[in-house]
Chains A and B, each alone.
Chain A
Amino acid sequence: MNCEWVKDNAFLYAYDELPDDQRIEFEQHVNRCTGCAEEVKALKGLREVMSAAPMLEPSPSFLAESRMKLQEQLEIAQQERGWKRWFIDPFAMLKTMKFSPALAAVLLMVGFAGGAGVAYKLAHTDSGGNPSIAGGDKGPPQVVASIAGIREIQQDPNSNRVSIKYDTLQPQTAEGNLNDQRIQQLLLYAARNNVNTGVRLNSLDLLTQKPEDTKVREALEASLRYDTNPGVRLKAMEALAPYVKQDSTVRDVLLEALLHDNNPGVRSLALQTLEPVRADSAVRMELQYLADKDKDQAIKRQAQAMLATLPEID
């Protein structure tokens, strides 16, 4: 066990994270080596200082208030789940409603809409056998729509009359220019929430035309951090690149991608994108770490090359 290893792992010792066999060897080395003993003392001192501002407990009244508010929200959530049970199990629902000829006229087909959620199609066959939604006493039959959920089913006693309350999902189209607030909101939503990668990429393409907007930049940062598709993360990074010098949050997000992204291409581009700010102390520290310890040899060499262009710090 040499001094370099001891100093690199002293923080683990200070936080009781060294395995027992290593801890014993570590302590034997520190007992013999003044320099390493100083390092351990400094880290233990840090731990004491950081503990000087203690973890304060939430007061009993604050905790009670938080619990009460949560209880209200959970009751609402439970009620919402309650009516959705009709939605998930329509055959059990039919049984409990005592199957009748009127209900027999209602056919439920389960289908899945693109995106989140489950949709049902409510079909009623007219005399011609064509599927349609009855317009009731008023109006002609409507086009079959996707049903988001059934809220309530009631049957008039001693009659065949059934009343069903349901919510529908109607596909819609929004048109406008990029400055239109509604278009912007939809694009921001699509960038974060759509399961279709192509839609997310398209929305980022359009959003990048207004990256000076704070909300757009936040969406780009979120895409770089969280999107599961590396292509989307690369696109977000390209859009953020011009702001790396002036925006420290962009710099932090890029550093995070450099250190934690599981895609080597994303990491490599992050390193290149940070090149203009390589002299920044936080970036420099990370470059030093990568140059010494990164397991990816290409990243290691790239970091070493960038550091070589920087002047030495005294």
Chain B
Amino acid sequence: MPAGVLAMRFAVGDVSGNGSGETVVTRGQMAGQQTAGRIDDANLIREAQQGNHRAFEELIRQYDQAVLRLALHLTGSPDDAQDIYQEAFLKAYKSVGNFRFECSFYTWLYRIVTNLCLDHLRKKQVRKEDSAVVNDSDGEEFSLLDTVSDDRAAHNPERDLMRKELGRKIGKALTRLTERERMVFELKHYQGLKLRTIGEMLNTTEETAKNTLFRATQKLRTSLAEMRS
């Protein structure tokens, strides 16, 4: 998971003591900053529960980019990703009054997001092949890659072609998973979450999430081996 999206933001200063400009954050500072961060979140949540949509927006700002990334990767469609993004956060806003601080806000939010993603996967009947080229709402073809950033300095057409072909094979292998297998694999492999967290998000146990990941990896190995042969 990219550190910039979900890491706690905290200011660091020169504590090296030798004027070298090294910035070192002590554990005490980190713990203190994390506690401060959690208190800030709790205050924002309470404000949002009173209906303050600006507080809600500030609260979700830590997570919304990751949610959009997840939706985009799962659906392969900017329109669908945006729909999931809108629906997830609107649902969260409307039901934030039910949040009782029994788990982290992040886990609670992702329960909503993963349910919507699962619904989407089911509706799309993911036995068909994913494509990097989709149709927009006007029926025009455009490449998904136009909506994403590409920071690589060197542009190599042959490497791009190989990358697209590999992407196609990976997409095809992923369509052979059930929706839950796909979701668990997505959250584990692409989002880097722990299986225990994934279990909480999907309202199941860590053991079930483990078994689902096992089946997903077995199926992917078989699919990719078949494609190679």
Q: A residues touching B (Cβ–Cβ < 8 Å)? A: 8, 11-12, 14-15, 17, 42-43, 46-47, 49-53, 55-60, 62-63, 65-67, 69-71, 73-75, 77-78, 81-82, 85, 218, 221, 225, 248-249, 252, 255-256, 259-260, 285-286, 289, 293
Contacts A11-B213, A53-B163 given; does A70 touch B125 at CB 8 Å: no
B82-101, CB under 8 A of A: which get 1 and which 0?
10011001100110000000
* Set A12, A52, A66, A78: member contacting B53, Cβ < 8 A: A78
Question: In whole Å, how far is A258's beta carbon from the nearest beta carbon of chain B?
Answer: 11
Contacts A43-B217, A57-B69, A77-B93 given; does A69 touch B179 at CB 8 Å: no
* Contact of B3 with A by CB under 8 A: no
* Contact of B9 with A by CB under 8 A: no
Q: Which 4 A-B pairs have CB atoms at the shortest separation, nearest pair first?
A: A56-B148, A53-B167, A74-B53, A78-B53
Whether the Cβ atoms of A49 and B224 lie closer than 8 Å is yes
Whether the Cβ atoms of B189 and A70 lie closer than 8 Å is no
List of A residues within 8 angstroms of B208 by Cβ: 260
Give the residue name and chain of the B residue nearest to A60 (CB): B149
Report B36-82 residues with CB < 8 Å from chain A CB: 51-53, 56-57, 64-65, 68-69, 72-73, 78, 81-82
Known: A58-B72, A70-B57. 13 other contacts (CB 8 A): A11-B214, A15-B188, A46-B224, A55-B69, A55-B73, A57-B148, A57-B149, A58-B148, A63-B65, A74-B57, A74-B90, A221-B122, A289-B211
* Contact of B147 with A by CB under 8 A: yes
Whether the Cβ atoms of A260 and B180 lie closer than 8 Å is yes
Give the residue name and chain of the B residue nearest to A80 (CB): B94
List of B residues within 8 angstroms of A225 by Cβ: 122
List of B residues within 8 angstroms of A78 by Cβ: 51-53
Give the residue name and chain of the B residue nearest to A47 (CB): B189
Question: In whole Å, how far is B47's beta carbon from the nearest beta carbon of chain A?
Answer: 12
Whether the Cβ atoms of A50 and B220 lie closer than 8 Å is yes
* Contact of B120 with A by CB under 8 A: no
The complex places the Cα of A218 from the Cα of B194 at a distance, in Å, of: 32
Whether the Cβ atoms of A67 and B53 lie closer than 8 Å is no
* Set A66, A71, A248, A256: member contacting B68, Cβ < 8 A: A66
Give the residue name and chain of the A residue nearest to B210 (CB): A12
* Contact of B204 with A by CB under 8 A: yes
Q: How many residues of B contact A (CB 8 A)?
A: 56
- Listed by A's residue number, 22 A-B pairs whose Cβ atoms lie within 8 Å are A11-B217, A15-B188, A17-B195, A49-B166, A49-B224, A52-B163, A52-B166, A56-B73, A58-B68, A59-B147, A62-B68, A62-B147, A69-B86, A70-B57, A70-B64, A73-B90, A74-B56, A74-B93, A77-B90, A78-B53, A225-B122, A289-B215
List of B residues within 8 angstroms of A259 by Cβ: 211
The complex places the Cα of A11 from the Cα of B210 at a distance, in Å, of: 9
The complex places the Cα of A65 from the Cα of B53 at a distance, in Å, of: 18
List of B residues within 8 angstroms of A260 by Cβ: 180, 204, 208
List of A residues within 8 angstroms of B142 by Cβ: none
The complex places the Cα of A286 from the Cα of B93 at a distance, in Å, of: 39
Question: In whole Å, how far is A11's beta carbon from the nearest beta carbon of chain B?
Answer: 5
Contacts A63-B65, A221-B122, A249-B125 given; does A53 touch B170 at CB 8 Å: yes
List of A residues within 8 angstroms of B72 by Cβ: 56, 58
Question: In whole Å, how far is A280's beta carbon from the nearest beta carbon of chain B?
Answer: 13
Question: In whole Å, how far is A206's beta carbon from the nearest beta carbon of chain B?
Answer: 23
Whether the Cβ atoms of A82 and B125 lie closer than 8 Å is no
The complex places the Cα of A259 from the Cα of B212 at a distance, in Å, of: 9
Question: In whole Å, how far is B145's beta carbon from the nearest beta carbon of chain A?
Answer: 7
Contacts A59-B147, A70-B86 given; does A77 touch B180 at CB 8 Å: no
The complex places the Cα of A64 from the Cα of B39 at a distance, in Å, of: 27
List of B residues within 8 angstroms of A77 by Cβ: 53, 90, 93-94
* Contact of B106 with A by CB under 8 A: no
List of B residues within 8 angstroms of A17 by Cβ: 194-195, 210
Contacts A11-B214, A77-B93 given; does A256 touch B85 at CB 8 Å: no
The complex places the Cα of A56 from the Cα of B189 at a distance, in Å, of: 14
Question: In whole Å, how far is A298's beta carbon from the nearest beta carbon of chain B?
Answer: 19
* Set A42, A51, A252, A289: member contacting B221, Cβ < 8 A: A42
Contacts A47-B189, A75-B53 given; does A63 touch B210 at CB 8 Å: no
Whether the Cβ atoms of A58 and B56 lie closer than 8 Å is no
Question: In whole Å, how far is A227's beta carbon from the nearest beta carbon of chain B?
Answer: 14
Question: In whole Å, how far is B139's beta carbon from the nearest beta carbon of chain A?
Answer: 20
* Contact of B178 with A by CB under 8 A: yes
